[in-house]
Amino acid sequence: MKRFLVVTLLVLLVSGLMAEVMEKAGKEYIPTGNPSGNIAQTRAPGDLTVVVPPVTIRSSYYDYMPGSYCSLPLQIQTDETGNVLGAYLAYHSTETSTATRRVYLAHIDGVGNIDFNSYCNTNDIREGYPGLDLDPVTNDPMVAWHVDFNEDTHYDIGFVYDQYHFLPGPGLLAAPFAIIDNYSLFQQGTLEFEDDEFIWPQVYVVKGPTFETDGKRRIYVEGNNFASHGSAGSASENVLITWADFTTADIEAGNFPNLDWHYVTVPELDGYNKDEPYWGRMQKGIAVSDDGKIAIFGFLSINADDDPDDIDELVCFYNENWCEDDGSGRIWETARTPSGFYVDNPLNEDGTRWLTNSEGTPAEDVYFDHGALCSHPNAFFDSIGRVHLIGSQILLYVDPDDPASSFVHIYNDYVKSFIFDFDTQEFQINDLYPQSANPNDQQAMLPWDLDEDGVVDEYDDDGFVSPVDGWPIWWQAYDVAFHENSFKVVGNKDDELMIAVWQDGLKNKYFAEGGDPDYEDWNEIAEIAISYSTDNGDHWSAPMFMNSKSDDENYFPELDGVKPCYVYPGDVIERVDENNSIVHLMFYDDNSFGSFIQGNGQDIGGDVKYMAVQFEHEFVALPGAGDVDSNVANANTSLSINTFPNPFNPTTAVSYTPSQAGNVNVSVYNVKGELVKTLVNEYQTSTPQTIIWNGDDSAGNKAATGVYFFKVNTKNDSAVSKALMLK
């Protein structure tokens, strides 16, 4: 029996010979299905607070993915203590309906102001889809994007960096150059085919293997092949990675074009590009760890006509030696597991099977496919070295005797968390939204049996199975869902906090596609969804939603008139205290609901925007908090301390009353437990005292936005208060 069908993909040529937007092709599921109207539980809206309202970075008529498809074009700058200094954004924009699409680099300072916003390349030529990372030593941004520098009908991958550390501040861009010149690499024998076109880049920068002795960092730039050399005629997106080591001196001397660049591909993926042994494509994210692990993690789909086993897989190609041969003669190891599964087709109240084909024929089993609508994930290493990816599972009816009648149930697409553990070589597939009774038991999440008691949870009035619905995509229609989905995951390297970000369009879909009049006021409203984990992704919170619907509990006035789509989180979760953190967001605000680029909406443009949101979560210890006690008062004494106002900008009053006369020390510490400034160190009487902190350190420099601890020490006791500085 045929076990699996796949959605195969091609790339659409737009504007002459230039590759622009990924497109799907090959076998196509028939979209069908009726909504149940059941919506899974979400968290209370009070858990979210907008701390920086949406800021327009630049207007754009290119109303589709403003940055990298599968990485994070919003990178957060922090100092050595973890305080946020600012953020860089790499994006593309078509400023008027007739302008050329260009790539830009913008900088936002520590208080949310745009202080730099410029082209990455001064030549007026078409370019797009930038990837971005920061040098961990200098905080300099490094950007790669696709562009035809040589005007040879091939896109290349351009590269530029900004010497933030030198000024210090943004605005000192180096000269751009082609870091991957596809035709030149073919002439040199690095690439096999003359028309190979590696584009859609990602960038990763880490401290290199010799950093402790020579200070060298290692940069990786990855591209995906637009060209196809197989019978499917569709891009398989095999990968090319180039890497080199560099120093700060190389940055300042403009020496990047002359670095010793190495080139690496993945032989198995190269084979799929030319039908060896058959055509296949991997929808994937790339991750690089601080200790030299490289992971290419995602969903591999094999052309069902060519693959005798017809199996789709969750695959991780990985290297644990900085993308170098470890002496074994090969660079890549591979781990894989089936990415989909069959379950029993549930029974209606009358004992008949729930899902049938268009002719009313039921199937004994139905199929959940991971990856069919997960084409834009990123990958991420958690603090214990596992690699993560967020995606979805969608319900399919697969008729092995009549594949043409197979269909996708378009109201049953659910968010999942995927993990690969390097140490155990095991995969985990956990529920994210909605969740079953045991979300990480590695059993199938059945939307009709969330309590996992083996009995259908609910039937509709006609006695049919009524599962919980799901549609984690902002646009309502299945025919462009491949383009419009976006799942992103980030976390910090020094704690267990992670967040997942996607968009939910279920309520809009109920009306726009299903015609349900009860949801008419949800027309053209999509929601931002944010879920968090406090244990490195083993368990996830119910999502917190944000929308612009004024009478909804998840309404945020900051989103009035905003149609957010293609939401990217920043790479760092900014810690406020043990129970509050900030996520930085970049997104596109469309003036007309629906991407004109994808054949929907109007050609009236929109804006690339930035926003910051604080969210409440369960306790996660602050990394490196030292010996500073976060309790407001010592339980064994009557000493207490208070700061007002809190939050403050930039001045707060510290009030306390010593229990007896004597020497008193009042000091301010940052979240790392490091002394910022001593406010008082003198003899005081046991009367109420107040001291003002003006938000500066011992050298007179202004302190950054963040949490600060105020500690009072007397002869016999001490107490601590904490306060948040917002600018």
**Residue 405 has what pLDDT?**
64
* Structure confidence by residue, pLDDT tens digits, 334-365: 999 988 888 999 999 999 999 887 777 888 88
> Which residues have a Cβ under 8 Å from the Cβ of 121 and sit 6 or more positions away?
102, 103, 127, 147, 158, 160, 176
Greatest mean pLDDT range, 5-9, 34-38, 303-307, 716-720: 34-38
Give buried/exposed letters for 279-292 (b at 16+ CB in 10 A, else e): bbbbbbbbbbbeeb
Rounded to an integer, what distance in angstroms lies between the CA atom of residue 166 and that of residue 170? 9
Average pLDDT, the chain: 88
- Judged against a pLDDT cut of 60, whether residue 521 lies above it is answered with yes
* Structure confidence by residue, pLDDT tens digits, 199-233: 999 999 999 999 999 999 999 999 999 999 988 78
What number of H helices and E strands is found in the chain? 6, 41
> Which residues have a Cβ under 8 Å from the Cβ of 586 and sit 6 or more positions away?
57, 66, 67, 73, 74, 89, 91, 567, 568, 570, 608, 609, 610
Mean pLDDT lowest among 68-72, 148-152, 526-530, 626-630: 626-630
- Judged against a pLDDT cut of 90, whether residue 99 lies above it is answered with yes
Which amino acid does the sequence have at 258?
A: N
> Which residues have a Cβ under 8 Å from the Cβ of 98 and sit 6 or more positions away?
none
- pTM for the full predicted model: 0.83
Q: How confident is the model at residue 308 (pLDDT cuts 50, 70, 90)?
A: very low
**Over residues 526-536, mean pLDDT:** 95
**Residue 409 has what pLDDT?**
87
Torsion of CA 691, 696, 699, 705, to 10 degrees: 140
Q: How confident is the model at residue 111 (pLDDT cuts 50, 70, 90)?
A: confident
Identify which has the larger pLDDT, 8 or 699: 699
Cα angle value 355/359/365 (rounded, 5°): 30
**Residue 82 has what pLDDT?**
81
* Structure confidence by residue, pLDDT tens digits, 463-481: 999 999 999 999 999 989 9
* Structure confidence by residue, pLDDT tens digits, 367-388: 888 877 899 999 999 999 999 9
**Residue 379 has what pLDDT?**
98
Domains and their CATH numbers in the chain: 9-616 (no CATH), 641-725 (2.60.40.4070)
Mean pLDDT lowest among 73-87, 501-515, 627-641: 627-641
Rounded to an integer, what distance in angstroms lies between the CA atom of residue 133 and that of residue 144? 9
Q: What is the DSSP letter of 289?
A: -
* Structure confidence by residue, pLDDT tens digits, 121-140: 999 999 999 999 999 999 99
According to DSSP, the β-strands at 527-533 and 498-504 are antiparallel
**Over residues 104-132, mean pLDDT:** 94
**Residue 634 has what pLDDT?**
36
Picking from 519, 431, 505, the residue whose alpha carbon sits closest to that of residue 471 is 505
For the residues of 315-331, what is the DSSP string, one character each? EEEEESSTTS--SSS-S
Q: What is the DSSP letter of 557?
A: G
According to DSSP, the β-strands at 689-693 and 706-713 are unpaired
**Over residues 503-520, mean pLDDT:** 95
Give buried/exposed letters for 451-467 (b at 16+ CB in 10 A, else e): eeeeebbebeeeebbbb
* Structure confidence by residue, pLDDT tens digits, 316-341: 999 999 999 988 889 999 999 988 88
- Judged against a pLDDT cut of 50, whether residue 141 lies above it is answered with yes
Would you put residue 372 in left (φ > 0), alpha (ψ -120 to 50) or beta? alpha
- Judged against a pLDDT cut of 80, whether residue 152 lies above it is answered with no
DSSP SS3 for 253:
helix
**Over residues 66-71, mean pLDDT:** 97
**Residue 22 has what pLDDT?**
59
Q: How confident is the model at residue 518 (pLDDT cuts 50, 70, 90)?
A: very high
Rounded to an integer, what distance in angstroms lies between the CA atom of residue 488 and that of residue 485? 10
**Residue 46 has what pLDDT?**
65
* Structure confidence by residue, pLDDT tens digits, 651-677: 899 998 888 888 888 999 876 667 899
- Judged against a pLDDT cut of 90, whether residue 50 lies above it is answered with yes
Rounded to an integer, what distance in angstroms lies between the CA atom of residue 613 and that of residue 55? 13
**Residue 401 has what pLDDT?**
67
* Structure confidence by residue, pLDDT tens digits, 395-433: 988 766 666 667 888 899 999 999 999 999 999 999 999
